[in-house]
Structure 1
Amino acid sequence: MNFAHSLRHRQRGVTLIELMVALLVGLFLTLAVYMVMSNFESRRRTNTAGSELDKAGALAMAQIDRQLRSAGSGFAQAASFAYGCALHASKSDQQILPAKDALAAPFASVDPGTLGVFRLAPALILPGQTTPGASGKASDVLVIMASAAAWGGVPAPFTEAAQAAALTLANTLPFSRNDLMLLSDEQPAEAGGVAPCLVTQVSSSATTGSATNALALAGTWYSATVDKTAVTGYSETGTATVLGNAGLGRLPEFVLMGVGDNNTLYTHDLLQTTDTPLQATAEGVFELHALYGIDTNTDKKVDLWVSPTDSKSGYGLSDLSDGSLAAAGKLRNIKAIRVGLILRTALPERDEVSSATVTLFNDINGLTHTRDLTSSERHYRYRTLESTIPLRNNFL
């Protein structure tokens, strides 16, 4: 009997209370592990998102910096009579400038002063002309123009009026076959403003050199007339400036830069030098805003920062894009662009993690840009990135 009693005692197991205590202890341990893992994952996700945002911002600013530092290259020496000229261009006998149709999103609402008419300038700010889907607020667009010429960009004067498919110059040494060229006129237009400019192309069979005066025109970007602007409209006061070479792949960059949907920075190639003019170039960009740095006393230094929305400054969009000689002079006074980017993470977080406002340019009195954030927007993390970029070719 003692053996049976001992066996029953050993087989009794745990009581219900002991089981409940064990379950409760296990539950607390599981909850603690979950909280540790959850906090770790949240910190990891936040750190990763912040790191990715920093990388995206650096890439976006590097793209903008590269474009702006080259702005005006190749045609800055024609600034006194070419800045502000209305650009005319065709590709494969189809007019591309002035633009006859709306551009692709996010640039569908872009208006550079006169709808569809883009004017020659190293850099121009179109204030509030895209509305990114994530932001829902106006964002600025940059218009940046630069050639890819191998030579110094000195305009070659005509020696007689142009023919429909040929130019006569003192010599054709600066030109090569398949060069893209900008035709401009030192003589003001009939209305007293800057004469229109025409993008055209040297023939692939042209003869060039110091002893040759005639330069034949033909190719993808050649057309005798584009929107009433004809090659024959350029008299002996005309000039030709090399923009690049289509045969060698050295193509000019006349681009728009702005923010579109999905926090993405886009560029649009105005001269359609590629089959896909619209390109996504960087992610994570929530908004873009910019200011002009102005040389007010011709000492080649920035003396004044101006908002492109300030019509009283004389540097509003209408002041710079009316095609007048005064506008051309103002374009030459722009020596730098201050660019500010607001960056945002892609995914929201559970709690509000950002303050109620994001600011740009807070070191410039009167020009601070403040972006108020809604309650739902504060569930994302933000970064701001600013850079002052000189227009090196405008210091000539």
Structure 2
Amino acid sequence: MRKSILTRAGQSGFTLVELMVGLVLGMLTVLVIAQVLVLAEGKKRSVSMGSDAQVNGAMALYTLQREIQMAGYGATQSLDALGCPVKAQFDTNAAFTFTLAPVVIEDGANGASDKITILRGRSTGFSIPVALAGAHTSTDNHFSVNASFGTTAGTWMIAVPAAQDATHWCSLFSVTNDTSDVTTTLSATVVPHVLTSSSKWNQNSVLPAAGYQKGDYLLNMGSFVSRTYSINTTNNAETLQVEDLSLVNGLTSPQDLYPQIVNLQALYGKGTVDPSGNVIVDTYDNVTPLTNADWRRVVAIRIAVVARSAEYEKDIVTTATNSPQWDVGSTATIAGTATCHGTSKCIALKVDQLTDWQHYRYKVYDTIVPLRNVLWNS
């Protein structure tokens, strides 16, 4: 009997209290591990999404920089033409007017994103102005020129009056070559622009009533490129968007490029010529020039893009005090912004229009792009 009692005592297990304490300790351990894993996973997502935002921002800035560097090719061969209103029309579409300038900035109201329109030619050969040898009436289908060097069928050209005013503007057309008549045959002294089924841009209705005179000239654009960059805000999914003017149908075709780009800002860099002939930028502003003299002062474009991380943060990570700021340097002169004199980060970049904007992180990318074609032709 004594042996049996001792055996049962040696085989006794956990008590209920001990079991409950063990369960509590195990649950606490699991809870701590889960919290560590959740925190680590959140940090991992923030880092990975932040990396994606950096790629999107860098690529958006590179794309804009590359386009602006090429802006104005062909159009700036004669700086006297800068600022000329250019009229154009495709077939029966409504006629429209654009400004003959490398870059035109459409300022967004109250800090909203800007639009940047880039105009340039694209040619494998030389792009030089062609002087008119005689008058061209508003009903003529060809220009008489001194020499049509570099002009081929399909070339896009802009007719420019030497003296521009409200009744003398520029016109866009494409060169044709119909050998059935000497006046419609492209030659060293004739540049035709006949309206055909394959050249529906040649609408005489866009020509000035007074036509063009001897001494006016044609700008050789090669292949005409008009491209507008903006922010697409559809469905709160902000992306950098580009719209190309189609030469096939005269319409614009929007295309999304890089996601999570939430703001685009641009400034004209306006300079003056010093005694040595160098152009020095002394002012940045978003005021679109109105005269040829003002357009000739625009020698650079300053741009900033704001990229947003796609990761929604549970806690507020962005507030009014740490929202994105454009660092323009302490010596920059930004017209209309008094706080930018002596202060570096002085231009607030608007992001509070976005849903739950405080729960996302942002990164600003900016650069200054010289207008090479304007500077070279100066």
Query: TM-score normalised to the size of structure 1?
Result: 0.78
Report SS of the residue matched to 1:290.
Answer: strand
Aligned twin of 2:254:
278
Question: Residue 377 and residue 9 in structure 1: after superposition, are their counterparts in 2 closer, same or farther (change >3 A)?
Answer: same
Question: Residue 12 and residue 75 in structure 1: after superposition, are their counterparts in 2 closer, same or farther (change >3 A)?
Answer: same
Aligned twin of 1:84:
83
- Residues 1:142 and 2:116 are matched in the alignment: yes
Aligned positions of 1:205-284 closer than 5 A: 205=178, 207-210=185-188, 213-218=190-195, 219-226=198-205, 228-229=206-207, 233-244=211-222, 251-261=223-233, 262-270=237-245, 277-284=253-260
Q: Distance in 2 between matches of 1:217 and 1:55?
A: 47
Q: For residues 372-394 of structure 1, give each alpha carbon's deviation from its aligned partner in whole angstroms, at most 9, with x where no partner exists.
A: 77695332111111101000011
Aligned twin of 1:134:
none
Check conservation: 1:146, 1:254, Cα contact below 8 A.
Answer: yes
Check conservation: 2:84, 2:164, Cα contact below 8 A.
Answer: no
Report SS of the residue matched to 1:174.
Answer: coil
Unaligned runs of 5+ residues in structure 2 are 180-184, 341-345
Check conservation: 1:93, 1:222, Cα contact below 8 A.
Answer: no
Q: Aligned residues, how many? A: 345
1:164 corresponds, among 132, 135, 140, to: 140
Q: Using the TM superposition, give the Cα deviation of residue 57 of structure 1 relative to its aligned residue in structure 2, in angstroms.
A: 0.7
2:318 corresponds, among 349, 354, 357, to: 354
| Amino acid paired to 2:148 | T
| Amino acid paired to 1:85 | C
Q: Distance in 1 between matches of 2:350 and 2:106?
A: 22
Check conservation: 2:45, 2:311, Cα contact below 8 A.
Answer: no
| Amino acid paired to 1:301 | V
Question: Residue 4 and residue 166 in structure 1: after superposition, are their counterparts in 2 closer, same or farther (change >3 A)?
Answer: farther
Report SS of the residue matched to 2:107.
Answer: strand
- Residues 1:120 and 2:85 are matched in the alignment: no
Q: Using the TM superposition, give the Cα deviation of residue 296 of structure 1 relative to its aligned residue in structure 2, in angstroms.
A: 1.9
Q: Distance in 1 between matches of 2:127 and 2:72?
A: 10
Check conservation: 1:225, 1:231, Cα contact below 8 A.
Answer: no
Check conservation: 2:130, 2:217, Cα contact below 8 A.
Answer: yes
Check conservation: 2:301, 2:370, Cα contact below 8 A.
Answer: yes
Q: Using the TM superposition, give the Cα deviation of residue 7 of structure 1 relative to its aligned residue in structure 2, in angstroms.
A: 7.6
Identical positions, percent: 23
Aligned positions of 1:321-360 closer than 5 A: 321=290, 327-354=291-318, 356=321, 357-360=323-326
Q: Using the TM superposition, give the Cα deviation of residue 96 of structure 1 relative to its aligned residue in structure 2, in angstroms.
A: 4.8
Check conservation: 1:266, 1:279, Cα contact below 8 A.
Answer: yes
Aligned twin of 2:46:
46
Question: Residue 214 and residue 178 in structure 1: after superposition, are their counterparts in 2 closer, same or farther (change >3 A)?
Answer: closer
Aligned twin of 1:289:
265
Aligned twin of 1:73:
73
Unaligned runs of 5+ residues in structure 1 are 99-117, 132-136, 245-250, 309-315, 322-326
Aligned positions of 1:50-69 closer than 5 A: 50-69=50-69
Q: Distance in 2 between matches of 1:235 and 1:328?
A: 20
